[in-house]
Structure 1
Amino acid sequence: MPVVLYTCLLWLSISGLSTAEKHNSFTHESSRSPHRGLAPTNTDFAFNLYNRLVNLNPNKNILVSPVSISTALAMLSLGPRGQTGTRLLQSLGFNYTEASEAKIHQDFQHLSRLLSQSDMSSSMSLGSIIFFDQNLKLEDSFLEAIKHYYGSEAFAIDFKDWTQASRQINTYVESKTQGKITEVFSDPSDLAPFMLFNYIFFKGTWEFPFSPENTREEDFYVNETTTVKVPMMVQSGLMGYLHDSVIPCQLVLMDFVGNGTIFFILPDQNQMDTVTAALSRDTIKRWDTLLTKRQVNAHIPKFSMFDTHDLKEVLPEMGIEDLFTGQSNFSGYTQDDSKAVKVIHKAVLQLDENGIVPVATKRASRFARSEELTISFNRPFIVLIYDDITWSSLLMGKIMKPA
């Protein structure tokens, strides 16, 4: 009986530019923050996952929410008995000599609460929902555990009535995501008797917004033979900047109101693969150390995009095989026989101008106008979006062609 794990980044609406003030202690493990207990392991998993997805789709846009997937897989590990759940957590990178299984779930519980109660909570919602066939009997211990650690709920659905089942699911998800997702499943073949739908809705607000009046059409060079017109947002101000002398790229760091931080990474011409392969926790730490503030005139495409992944293509390569081999013991979920798992991840991103003030303002700077550097993200680039407090990888994306 298949199990669908549907982890979905529902919406990410970004809008503004940052002074890069918050990055100073962003990745420094020396701070030993109690809020970052999962950060090293989750970040290593995030870059491993991202690199593998990029390798599977070399010429396509990639968008993925690593912390959403880590959390969903950790929650899934509560169900299987025997070695299946243990191996799943170990495949995520956790070491039982450093933390017990109970401690790992407690840390995820703490992480979920921090993200939901942060000063971004007014513009972000996240969680997991289980929809299961009404003929199944879910184990009470599993339901209690996912509620306790992950705040998740389970709802029985009559999957034989496709019209009614899809209406129930879509209505519930729409209510949980502030109306940003109105249709989860559009085809009966998408359904399975047990589905875990994990979501995050984030509407970031720039500390320093882009002015819509400055947005204008510019060329975006998809490759050597393809050029498209895109609406390009423009902002000038003091922000974090680095021209890396080791990895062939430039990057700027921008902040949202609250805990959000975004890296915009522009590889040198034809160096996307080199930069992608170099992405790691150590690279981010090095960038965090080397970034300096300077006056920058940044041109960022305004666009919306979504991406969907069947993670069966990538998770076995990362050691997460039990979910797909039919050898797993899933009796901890339900009294019925469940052997195979389907894991689907969907991410949606919208990047626009919105910020905390409605007017265009030039940020004061001690730098002279002649020192201003212009950087245009007018060719394929990378975005990395983090929560500063927990160092969680909210979103990673490779934008080959803004839509």
Structure 2
Amino acid sequence: MGILFIFACASFLVPISKGQDINLNITQLTTKNIDFAMDLYRKISSYHDNNIFFSPLCISTAFAILSMGAEGHTRAEILKGLNLDQLERDGQPDLIPELFQQLQVNITHNEDLQLAQGTALFIRLEFDVERAFSDQIKKFFNADIQNIDFAQPKASKTTINDYVKKRTGDRIHEAVSDIDPFTQMILINTIFFQGKWELPFDPSNTQNGRFFVDKYNIVQVPMMFREERFYHASDDSLKVKVLRLPYKGDIAMLILLPNKGVDYTSIDDEINAERFLGWTKQLQITKLEVQLPKFKMDQSYEMHKILPHLGISSAFKNMANFSGLSKEQGLKVSEVLHKAVIEVDEKGTTAAAATVTGITGYSLPPTFIVNRPFFFFIYHEVTNSLLFMGRVINPTKM
């Protein structure tokens, strides 16, 4: 028997609000999730040199739910692969789902922020799910659970895609293209973000400009322009510059731009939670001319081919132990599909404690021109939760 997982994430085009008292364990959760994101990014990037975009929170949430139904080695592998095993405490089996629940409450409390995360479990009509598991995912993740007739693949596909379409603001239309009539269960986790720049770009200032994909390829792309006071920093040891672009609410985009002549691939192995948090702490404000390309991305990943390289493997094999989810025999994960889209324009974005050595406040020249491959991170500033991350090699490519 197989379980099909679909993660549908959409991100659409924020001064820092630190007034909330955040539980230390939530901070530990978000830090672990950043490192998971970087590990996952490195694995994805090893397959190609193209654009990358995904939601680490979307993926980690879905597998945290899956771990609640897993037992023994399967559960241990999932938590270790997510970098969450160190958060476990004896006698507190609900601690990790409680942390995810608290994190979601902290992220979504701001009325200025359009961010919604949802979970749905579509179960075969005669499939018997353990009551304790269904109660828990409803309690901690407010999951929608409904029976569906997978023997009617066309109708079930329509039902699931309509659900994803609705939960992602009509941005993801076909999360699943076909369904095996022998499917037992489909778990879907969606995240939808629509943010408006706190300092929007004036469309009348947008002009075509050159973007240097590499030494031999130059493309023309609409470049947005704004002169304003921005937060920025420089990591001299990594040879990158950092720019913070705030949205209304508690969300920001952090752009990581390698210095001229620096190969972006040399940075891949160096990005981690410690560095990321170091950048956010070292930001300083100054008047700056910013040029940023408009871009769209629509990315899909078969995570069942990627996650085993992060140590999550038994969940996909016949040895999988999901006895906490169901007493049915031979249950394993058959597919893990992750689809994420983003659009960045003048209005905003629409989508799905050690000090870091060498990082100092940096007095940049009057321009910050993003005209070569760069990284970006969309994160919740109060909790430092990484919602989305990506790499733009060619902004003219989806």
- Aligned residue number for residue 353 of structure 1: 346
SS of residue paired to 2:147: strand
AA aligned to 1:156 is N
Structure 1 stretches of 4+ with a deviation exceeding 6 A read none
Superposed, 1:194-233 pairs within 5 Å as 194-233=185-224
Q: 2:161 aligns with which of 159, 170, 175?
A: 170
2:5 paired with 1:2 = no
| Alpha-carbon separation, structure 2, partners of 1:235 and 1:33 | 37
Deviations 1:68-100 (A, max 9, x none): 111111110111233422442233222256574
Q: 2:297 aligns with which of 294, 305, 311?
A: 305
Q: State the shift of 1:352 in Å.
A: 1.0
| Alpha-carbon separation, structure 2, partners of 1:47 and 1:90 | 15
2:11 paired with 1:12 = yes
Q: State the shift of 1:276 in Å.
A: 2.0
- Aligned residue number for residue 152 of structure 1: 143
Q: State the shift of 1:253 in Å.
A: 0.9
2:390 paired with 1:390 = no
Contact 2:153 2:180 in 1 (8 A): no
**Closer, same or farther in 2 for the Cα pair 1:220/1:200, shift >3 Å?**
same
Q: Which runs of 5+ in 1 are unaligned?
A: 357-370
When structure 1 is superposed on structure 2, of 134-143 and 228-237 the one drifting more is 134-143
2:114 paired with 1:126 = no
Superposed, 1:230-241 pairs within 5 Å as 230-241=221-232
- Aligned residue number for residue 16 of structure 2: 22
2:244 paired with 1:245 = no
SS of residue paired to 2:382: coil
Q: Which runs of 5+ in 2 are unaligned?
A: 350-363
AA aligned to 1:76 is L
Deviations 1:53-77 (A, max 9, x none): 22232x1111111111111111101
AA aligned to 2:12 is S
SS of residue paired to 1:334: coil
**Closer, same or farther in 2 for the Cα pair 1:306/1:189, shift >3 Å?**
farther
2:317 paired with 1:325 = yes
Q: State the shift of 1:383 in Å.
A: 0.3
SS of residue paired to 2:196: coil
2:269 paired with 1:277 = yes
- Aligned residue number for residue 366 of structure 2: 373
Deviations 1:26-56 (A, max 9, x none): 9xxx986565341222222122222222223
Identity rate of aligned residues, in percent? Answer: 28
Contact 1:81 1:330 in 2 (8 A): yes
| Alpha-carbon separation, structure 1, partners of 2:390 and 2:312 | 22
Q: 1:287 aligns with which of 276, 279, 283?
A: 279
2:69 paired with 1:79 = yes
**Closer, same or farther in 2 for the Cα pair 1:355/1:2, shift >3 Å?**
closer
Task: Give me the TM-score of the superposition, normalised by structure 1.
Answer: 0.86
Contact 1:119 1:259 in 2 (8 A): no
**Closer, same or farther in 2 for the Cα pair 1:294/1:89, shift >3 Å?**
same
When structure 1 is superposed on structure 2, of 99-108 and 214-223 the one drifting more is 99-108
Q: How many residues align?
A: 377
Contact 2:211 2:218 in 1 (8 A): yes
Q: State the shift of 1:265 in Å.
A: 1.1
**Closer, same or farther in 2 for the Cα pair 1:43/1:399, shift >3 Å?**
same
Deviations 1:90-132 (A, max 9, x none): 33222256574321111111112223333344x2211111222
Superposed, 1:92-103 pairs within 5 Å as 92-93=82-83, 94-95=85-86, 100-103=92-95
Q: State the shift of 1:233 in Å.
A: 0.9
Q: State the shift of 1:203 in Å.
A: 0.4
Q: State the shift of 1:184 in Å.
A: 2.4
SS of residue paired to 1:128: strand
When structure 1 is superposed on structure 2, of 68-77 and 320-329 the one drifting more is 320-329
Q: State the shift of 1:291 in Å.
A: 2.2
2:79 paired with 1:89 = yes
Q: State the shift of 1:221 in Å.
A: 1.6
AA aligned to 2:93 is E
Q: State the shift of 1:279 in Å.
A: 0.7
| Alpha-carbon separation, structure 2, partners of 1:225 and 1:73 | 41
Q: State the shift of 1:175 in Å.
A: 2.7
Contact 1:248 1:271 in 2 (8 A): no
AA aligned to 1:200 is I
Deviations 1:168-192 (A, max 9, x none): 2222223333323333223346994
AA aligned to 2:8 is C
**Closer, same or farther in 2 for the Cα pair 1:143/1:31, shift >3 Å?**
closer
| Alpha-carbon separation, structure 1, partners of 2:189 and 2:181 | 16
Q: 1:65 aligns with which of 30, 55, 60?
A: 55
- Aligned residue number for residue 116 of structure 1: 108
AA aligned to 1:211 is D
**Closer, same or farther in 2 for the Cα pair 1:186/1:319, shift >3 Å?**
closer
AA aligned to 1:342 is E
